[in-house]
Amino acid sequence: PVALSSDISEMFLQVSIRGTGRPFHRFLWHSFDTSREPDVYELQRLLFGNKASPFCSQYVLQTHAASYSAKYPKAAETVARSMYVDDVLDSAETVEDAKLLRSQLLELLDKAGFKLRQWSSNKIKVIEDVPPKDRLSKVIFSNDSTQRSRPLAWRSVEAS
């Protein structure tokens, strides 16, 4: 009955590449000066567009959650069963359970350097203490203590 969703901000960039893997992530740069040899750089973080980035980031996330499953059991289960890449989508029986899950997720993922943002819930009380900058931006609150999100493809006629 109580939905909860969030997103890990810039997930791939939060995962370091081991030193032994960095030579495989090299690129050349010569600042449009073709008269000199290019500089050689190595990426130190996973990059969006690298085919292995989703797998590598999930491996880090799943391993981290499993290692803290005794301390954060609800969050570890959510990471294992209710995430798609960097998106969290889970539910709880009560508002209190959803708030506990949110708290555990924040603590667990913070330990790995992952920042959860774009929080949303169908119950205002679940996210009322979340700073507005960390809430889903396209949320409309109504008087019946629920919220809904506009589909991104939908646009109000008044906004035209």
Indicate if the pLDDT at residue 146 is higher than 60. no
Indicate if the pLDDT at residue 82 is higher than 90. yes
Residue whose tokens read 């740069």 = 29
Rounded Cα distance, 101 and 78, in Å:
8
Span 132-149, mean pLDDT? Answer: 67
Give 145's pLDDT tier (boundaries 50, 70, 90).
Answer: low
Span 130-137, mean pLDDT? Answer: 90
Among the residues of 7-130, which ranges form H helices? 53-67, 73-81, 95-110, 124-127
Q: How many residues does the chain have?
A: 160
More confident residue, 67 or 24: 67
| First-to-last C-alpha distance (Å) of the chain | 36
